[in-house]
């Protein structure tokens, strides 16, 4: 702990907390089984700066300092120092786990530090649940983004905004689910809408980024539940015109290029869901059939037994529509004529679809291109 001691003022609240927990922190280090890896890493790292062990300890000192300072500002030094007894060791263990798995310098530690500083009272109330929620959510979004931090970083920013208004760890976890939907884990949309009803208006204002009162919150959530292609910003602030093509997206690809399909995909509508069939997967295999989940925040293909993968409305007669240079006014849908969208540009790739199959439910169309192994999705804002 000598490296940490040099980072903080002697006889400061943090120094006293760390000293009181020195034995527990050292024990965590000793039983981790990674200290040999740190030592072996030292020579390789010295040419580029600090070794991994020193980096870990500096990360710990920085995160602990910011968290304690935030808590002192809200409850005073004595109460914050007392509360830190509960979270100082779990924070170290969480950072140690990141170091052991090679994730200390990949944004994970910054996310954990930011969350802890944003809600030190929640961290103190249940340190393991708090750090676990942050670690799992951030990792899931990074994995879904191919190891990139964009969506995960947006998630932690939204969650940190909302954390200040969460009364307990349950509300914090529920806010994490809503934020996950808003930043790309679209299979959590239905659950996120359900959970948002139980969060306060201040928490939802922070999550959705628009000012709300109780009436706007309930009405907006009702509108979002009815229309999968309505964005939260429009649901809470604007009336929604019907019959406009407003959103496009795609998912899939051949497994040889990093996609999920082993063979040519096809699509069918079934009981309010859109089923994507992988023609290259074995009959009965879990990956043979997936369900489409789509909304303005993204497109995902999820396991066949996912309950939330259901679109409101009835099946679409796809025999009645055609692709014509792919502008919205050239796409009749059933007996309804779509209104042209001013300034709408053709979607790259659609004009080269070639042979395709299609299925639709309610206001969602899925086109599966044989040549590209991708599922293209068209969303039509407005209740139909």
Residue 81: give the domain boundaries: 1-105
Q: How far is CA 79 from the centre of its chain?
A: 34
**pLDDT value, residue 185:** 87
Q: 131 and 250 share a domain?
A: no
* Segment 309-320, tens digit of pLDDT: 788 878 776 655
Q: 234 and 255 share a domain?
A: no
**pLDDT value, residue 31:** 59
Query: What average pLDDT does the segment 49-74 reach?
Result: 80
The DSSP letter of residue 350 is G
Q: 158 and 86 share a domain?
A: no
Rounded CA separation 381/245 (Å): 6
**pLDDT value, residue 51:** 63
* Segment 320-370, tens digit of pLDDT: 554 433 333 333 333 233 333 333 333 334 444 445 678 888 888 888 866
Evaluate whether residue 163 is within a structural domain: yes
**How many structural domains are present in the chain?**
3
Strands 244-252, 374-381: pairing is antiparallel
**pLDDT value, residue 334:** 33
Please tell me the pTM assigned to this model.
0.77
Query: What average pLDDT does the segment 129-143 reach?
Result: 90
Q: 135 and 178 share a domain?
A: yes
Of 70, 105, 140, the residue at which a domain comes to its end is 105
**pLDDT value, residue 34:** 53
The per-residue pLDDT of the chain, averaged, comes to 76
Q: 218 and 272 share a domain?
A: no
**pLDDT value, residue 372:** 73
Question: Other C-beta atoms within 10 Å of 187: how many?
Answer: 22
> Own/partner pairs for 258-262, CB < 8 Å, 24+ apart?
258/146, 259/373, 259/374, 260/287, 260/290, 260/301, 261/373, 262/287
Q: 275 and 376 share a domain?
A: yes
Q: 324 and 347 share a domain?
A: yes
Using N-to-C axis directions, what is the helix angle for 201-208 and 214-226, rounded to 10°? 50
Place of tokens 């004529």: 337
**pLDDT value, residue 325:** 36
Evaluate whether residue 91 is within a structural domain: yes
Q: 131 and 198 share a domain?
A: yes
Question: Other C-beta atoms within 10 Å of 324: how many?
Answer: 11
Q: What is the 3-state secondary structure (H, E, C) of 18-81?
A: HHHCHHHHHHHHHHCCCHHHHHHHHHHHHCCCCCHHHHHHHHHHHHHHHHHHHHHHHHCHHHHH
Report the largest interatomic distance among the alpha carbons of the chain, rounded to a whole angstrom: 77
Q: 221 and 270 share a domain?
A: no
Of 183, 212, 240, the residue at which a domain comes to its end is 240
**pLDDT value, residue 30:** 62
For the ranges 32-46, 136-150, 196-210, the lowest mean pLDDT is seen at 32-46
For residues 18 and 11, is the Cβ–Cβ distance under 8 A?
no
Q: 138 and 257 share a domain?
A: no
Evaluate whether residue 120 is within a structural domain: no
Evaluate whether residue 31 is within a structural domain: yes
Confidence class for position 43, pLDDT limits 50, 70, 90: very low
Evaluate whether residue 95 is within a structural domain: yes
Question: Other C-beta atoms within 10 Å of 258: how many?
Answer: 8
Evaluate whether residue 376 is within a structural domain: yes
For the ranges 87-91, 224-228, 277-281, 308-312, the lowest mean pLDDT is seen at 308-312
Sign of CA dihedral 341, 347, 352, 354: negative
For residues 274 and 237, is the Cβ–Cβ distance under 8 A?
no
* Segment 70-110, tens digit of pLDDT: 888 888 888 888 888 888 888 888 888 888 777 877 788 99
Evaluate whether residue 153 is within a structural domain: yes
Of 59, 74, 105, the residue at which a domain comes to its end is 105
The share of the chain scoring above pLDDT 90, in percent, equals: 20
Q: 37 and 151 share a domain?
A: no
pLDDT at 259 over 90: no
Evaluate whether residue 65 is within a structural domain: yes
Q: 145 and 38 share a domain?
A: no
**pLDDT value, residue 238:** 64
């Amino acid at each position: 702990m000598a490296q940490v001691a040099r980072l903080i003022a002697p006889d400061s609240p943090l120094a006293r907390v760390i000293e009181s927990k020195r034995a527990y922190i050292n024990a965590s280090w000793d039983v981790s089984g990674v200290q040999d890896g740190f030592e072996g890493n030292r020579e390789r790292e010295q040419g580029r700066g600090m070794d991994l062990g020193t980096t870990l300890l500096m990360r710990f000192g920085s995160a602990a300092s910011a968290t304690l300072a935030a808590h002192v500002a809200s409850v005073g030094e004595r109460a914050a120092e007392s509360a830190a007894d509960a979270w100082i060791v779990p924070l170290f263990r969480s950072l140690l786990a990141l170091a052991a798995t090679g994730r200390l310098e990949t944004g994970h530690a910054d996310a954990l530090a930011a969350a802890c500083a944003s809600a030190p009272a929640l961290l103190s109330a249940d340190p393991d649940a708090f750090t676990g929620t942050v670690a799992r959510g951030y990792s899931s979004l990074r994995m879904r983004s191919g190891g990139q931090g964009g969506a995960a970083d947006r998630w932690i920013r939204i969650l940190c905004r909302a954390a200040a208004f969460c009364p307990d760890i349950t509300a914090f976890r529920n806010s994490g689910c809503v934020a996950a939907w808003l930043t790309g884990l679209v299979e959590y949309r239905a659950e996120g809408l359900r959970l948002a009803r139980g969060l306060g208006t201040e928490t939802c204002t922070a999550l959705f980024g628009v000012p709300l009162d109780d009436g706007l919150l309930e009405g907006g959530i009702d509108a979002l539940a009815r229309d999968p292609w309505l964005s939260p910003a429009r649901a809470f602030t604007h009336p929604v015109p019907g019959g406009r093509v407003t959103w496009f997206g795609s998912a899939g690809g051949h497994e040889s290029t990093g996609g999920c399909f082993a063979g040519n995909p096809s699509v069918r509508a079934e009981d309010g869901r859109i089923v994507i069939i992988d023609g290259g997967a074995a009959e009965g295999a879990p990956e043979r059939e997936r369900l489409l989940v789509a909304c303005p925040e993204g497109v995902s293909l999820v396991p066949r037994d996912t309950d939330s993968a259901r679109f409101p409305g009835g099946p679409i007669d796809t025999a009645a529509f055609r692709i014509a240079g792919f502008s919205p006014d050239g796409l009749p849908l059933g007996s309804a004529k779509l209104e042209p969208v001013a300034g709408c540009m053709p979607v790259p790739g659609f004009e080269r679809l070639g042979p395709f199959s299609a299925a639709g439910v309610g206001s969602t169309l899925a086109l599966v291109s044989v040549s590209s192994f991708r599922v293209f999705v068209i969303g039509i804002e407005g209740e139909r």
